[in-house]
């Protein structure tokens, strides 16, 4: 029998009705044995996620104000779901514990984690599955880094003896026993590590969209969904701005070679998107997706006879490293190279960096150009295929877009272009049109 680990996101557990859909999905396939849940999300556009209420609770307590209203809203939401589902999950008692922990100055991470904790208690009760707390199993080191192997071993042992289980996402514990959360959206990571620990055949990630779209629907109207994509392609797309799955969720699944199926709780029969190691046959597309970010800066360094100067690149990178600046790309020419960095890394530091580069590399000047957007066109299908870049650049030329930078890694799975911030949307539309329509 196959094993499926299924993670349900905030919108899938937003209220009792959504949780009923979750139950029918789980009961629809007995292979769905290990379930990870997020905290209840928004029920409508102007609603507030439970996790946001929990963070608010902490800041109200910190600022010495009253947090009664926020705590009341959280309590009401969970008690409402418990009553509506007609289960006894001990929510009232749990809320009392949380209140007394706030009084004892509970940490922000502890409070933020309670949304997942309570949701898992409710869902476990409603499904008749075991509740298995992530605390003590999902482990972080004292710096807050996930201890993957220790976590995998602990979860594997704990879950091996259980027919089924519901595990809260988003958090684990530090060596001192204190609760530590992942970054926002981190239940995706919990789902992936549970999938790895139970050697699942599939990691289903249930959300409120029917898979990943080829590009941002705020830029291109109705982009096509991606049917099948590789982990590597997804990593490139998420890094460049595509959301849906938490970026770090890909690693544990990829490590264990477990395919991820992104599916929609509100449209369970839609196939969604499958993410796996390889894609073959009819699902093989030249371009999988297009993603990008605005607000990058080019720091361009030019020096006569640079090509003969050994170590100049290292010196430039050392300056940036000293200022904790992460580098995206380094396109270059014979006596020149540019360092492309996200603007957010340069805030308040640009002048000092330029001065140090000038002094340490012995330069007359350093050119700094801001307001650049970077777009990645990603697809394993372009490997060793002729004409892909010709098509891409022709599309940009026809749309009247000036290309400021071009970069293609030797793996050939993506072509990166830099364009003016103001050309960002038009460039994405032109590339999409050239490849997807």
User: Where does this chain bind ligand ASP (CB under 6 A)?
Assistant: 10, 38-39, 49, 51, 115, 169-170, 184-188
What's the per-residue H, E or C state across 359-404?
Answer: HHHCCCCEEEEEEEEEEEEECHHHCCCCCHHHHHHHHHHHCCCCEE
- Which whole-number Å values give the CA distances from 57 to 44, 97, 101, 423, in the listed order? 21, 15, 12, 42
Judged by CB, which is closer to ligand ASP: 91, or 119?
119
Q: How far apart are CA 381 and CA 295, in angstroms?
A: 29
Judged by CB, which is closer to ligand ASP: 129, or 170?
170
Q: How far apart are CA 31 and CA 29, in angstroms?
A: 5
Taking the complex as a whole, the smallest distance from the CB of residue 250 to ligand ASP amounts, in Å, to 15
Tokens representing 379 are 């697809």
Q: Give the number of other CB atoms < 10 A from CB of residue 56.
A: 18
Taking the complex as a whole, the smallest distance from the CB of residue 41 to ligand ASP amounts, in Å, to 7
Judged by CB, which is closer to ligand ASP: 246, or 293?
246
Judged by CB, which is closer to ligand ASP: 246, or 294?
246
Taking the complex as a whole, the smallest distance from the CB of residue 246 to ligand ASP amounts, in Å, to 7
Taking the complex as a whole, the smallest distance from the CB of residue 50 to ligand ASP amounts, in Å, to 7
Taking the complex as a whole, the smallest distance from the CB of residue 172 to ligand ASP amounts, in Å, to 13
Judged by CB, which is closer to ligand ASP: 48, or 408?
48
Q: How far apart are CA 95 and CA 104, in angstroms?
A: 14
How far is C-alpha 418 from the geometric centre of its chain's CA atoms? 23
Taking the complex as a whole, the smallest distance from the CB of residue 119 to ligand ASP amounts, in Å, to 9
Tokens representing 103 are 């009084």
Judged by CB, which is closer to ligand ASP: 151, or 187?
187
404 phi/psi in degrees, rounded to 5 = -90, -20
Regarding beta strands 165-168 and 32-37, do their DSSP bridges make them parallel or antiparallel, or are they unpaired?
parallel
Taking the complex as a whole, the smallest distance from the CB of residue 360 to ligand ASP amounts, in Å, to 42
Judged by CB, which is closer to ligand ASP: 10, or 223?
10
Q: Give the number of other CB atoms < 10 A from CB of residue 1.
A: 6
Tokens representing 2 are 């196959």
Taking the complex as a whole, the smallest distance from the CB of residue 389 to ligand ASP amounts, in Å, to 37
Q: What is the DSSP string of 240-303?
A: TT--SS-GGGHHHHHHTT--EEEEETTSTTS--EEEES---GGG--S--EEEEEEEEEEEEEE-
Judged by CB, which is closer to ligand ASP: 234, or 431?
234
Judged by CB, which is closer to ligand ASP: 39, or 260?
39
Taking the complex as a whole, the smallest distance from the CB of residue 169 to ligand ASP amounts, in Å, to 6
Rg for the chain (alpha carbons), in Å? 24
């Amino acid at each position: 029998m196959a094993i499926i680990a299924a993670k349900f996101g905030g919108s899938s557990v937003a209220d009792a009705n959504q949780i009923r859909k979750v139950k029918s999905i789980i009961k629809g396939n007995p292979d769905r044995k290990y379930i990870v849940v997020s905290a209840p999300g928004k029920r409508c556009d102007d609603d507030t996620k439970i996790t946001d209420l929990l963070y608010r609770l902490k800041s109200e307590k910190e600022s010495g104000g009253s947090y009664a209203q926020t705590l009341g809203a959280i309590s009401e939401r969970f008690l409402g779901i418990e009553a509506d589902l007609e289960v006894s999950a001990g929510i009232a008692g749990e809320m009392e514990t949380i209140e007394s922990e706030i009084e004892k100055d509970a940490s922000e991470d502890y409070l933020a984690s309670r949304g997942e904790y309570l949701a898992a208690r409710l869902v476990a009760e409603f499904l008749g599955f075991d509740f298995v707390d992530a605390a003590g199993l999902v482990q972080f080191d004292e710096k807050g880094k996930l201890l993957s192997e220790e976590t995998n071993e602990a979860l594997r042992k704990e879950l091996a003896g259980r027919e089924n289980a519901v595990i809260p996402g988003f958090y684990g514990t530090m060596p001192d026993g204190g609760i530590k959360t992942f970054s926002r959206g981190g239940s995706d990571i919990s789902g992936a590590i549970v999938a790895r620990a139970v050697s699942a055949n599939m990691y289903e990630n249930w959300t409120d969209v029917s898979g990943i779209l080829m590009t941002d629907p705020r830029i291109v109207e109705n982009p096509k969904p991606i049917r099948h994509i590789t982990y590597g392609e997804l990593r490139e797309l998420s890094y460049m701005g595509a959301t849906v799955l938490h970026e770090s969720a890909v690693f544990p699944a990829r490590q264990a070679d477990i395919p991820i199926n992104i599916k929609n709780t509100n449209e369970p029969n839609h196939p969604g998107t499958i993410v796996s190691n390889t894609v073959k046959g009819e699902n093989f597309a030249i371009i999988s997706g297009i993603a990008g970010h605005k607000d990058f800066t080019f720091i361009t360094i030019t020096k006569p006879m640079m090509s003969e100067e050994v170590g100049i690149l290292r010196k430039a990178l050392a300056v940036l490293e000293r200022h904790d600046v992460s580098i995206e790309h380094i396109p270059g020419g014979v006596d020149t190279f540019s360092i492309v960095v996200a603007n957010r890394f340069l805030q308040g530091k640009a002048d000092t960096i330029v001065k140090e580069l000038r002094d340490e590399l012995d330069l007359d000047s350093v050119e700094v150009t801001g307001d650049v957007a970077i777009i990645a066109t990603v697809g394993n299908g372009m490997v060793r295929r002729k004409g892909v870049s010709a098509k891409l650049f022709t599309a940009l030329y026809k749309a009247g877009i000036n290309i400021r930078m071009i970069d293609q890694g030797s793996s050939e799975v993506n072509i990166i272009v830099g364009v003016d911030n103001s050309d960002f949307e038009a460039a994405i539309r032109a590339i999409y049109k050239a490849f997807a329509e």
